[in-house]
Amino acid sequence: MTEDVERILVDEKELDEITTRLANQITQDYKNSTKPLILIVILKGSLNFASDLMRKIPLPLEIEFMKVSSYGAGTKNSGEIKIHLDLIREELEKYDLLIIEDIVDSGRTLARLTQLLKNRNANSVKTCTLLDKPSRREVEFTPDYCGKEIENEFVIGYGLDYDEKYRNLPYVGILKREIYS
């Protein structure tokens, strides 16, 4: 598996530093909140990030999972998202929601998902992403918490996949071009 990696982009030490920094920010921002916090973990890519991040947030919190995909540009439903696994939660007005993502690319998924959860009357909806590719943005979207902005590289590992593989690499790496071209 490692022979398919061109180079390491975010190593284990930097991942640890990023999750510590973001967890500290989140803890400061939510410590006086009157509503319970729910981390909405977006499957599958954010699994590792969410797992490391939540263990560094010493606040009472709950976790839920969603799986969504965006239709992308140029399709009949572009601008919409498909929900493969939804929240089994009601009365969202009782909660602060923090969506946990591995990467923001076009911005479609998080822009739409944020709107959807606000429309369900959540007390608040914020977003936290490990990686952001601002050069790829197709809709206006800025995450509330961002681990690292990156160039338009094909990244894998630490939850991120190519063809469902490489999610178990302990770092974020750049995939060799010959693997996907």
Where in the sequence numbering do the catalytic residues fall?
A: 105
Pick the stretch among 31-39, 53-61, 98-106, 148-156 that binds ligand PRP (CB under 6 A). 98-106
Nearest-approach distance from CB 94 to ligand PRP, in angstroms: 26
Contact 180, 154 (CB under 8 A): yes
CA-CA-CA-CA torsion sign (81, 84, 85, 90) = positive
Binding-residue pattern over the window 30 to 59 for ligand PRP, x denoting contact by CB under 6 A: ------------xxxx--------------
Token pair in block for residue 129: 């992403």
Nearest 5 degrees, angle CA 177-CA 149-CA 30? 135
155 binds ligand PRP (CB under 6 A): no
Contact 13, 37 (CB under 8 A): no
The first and second tokens of residue 124, run together, are 């608040």
Between 96 and 102, CB nearer to ligand PRP: 102
What tokens appear for 177 in the block?
Answer: 């071009």
Residue 36 or 161: the one with the smaller Cβ distance to ligand PRP is 161
Q: Which of 3, 18, 27 is nearest to 158 (CA)?
A: 18
Which one of 18-26, 82-90, 97-105, 172-180 is the stretch in contact with ligand PRP (CB under 6 A)? 97-105
Out of 102, 125, 155, 157, the only residue in the binding site for ligand PRP (CB under 6 A) is 102
The closest of 130, 97, 102 to 114, measured between CA atoms, is 97
The verdict on 104 binding ligand PRP (CB under 6 A) reads: yes
Which range of residues in 11-19, 52-60, 87-95, 106-114 is near ligand PRP by CB under 6 A?
A: 106-114
List the beta bridge partners of residue 85: 67
Identified binder of ligand PRP from the candidate list 52, 65, 98, 105, rule CB under 6 A = 105
- For residue 31, give Cα distances in angstroms to 44, 52, 132, 147: 28, 19, 26, 20
Minimum distance from CB of 39 to ligand PRP (Å)?
15
Chain residues binding ligand PRP by CB under 6 A are 42-45, 69-70, 101-109, 161
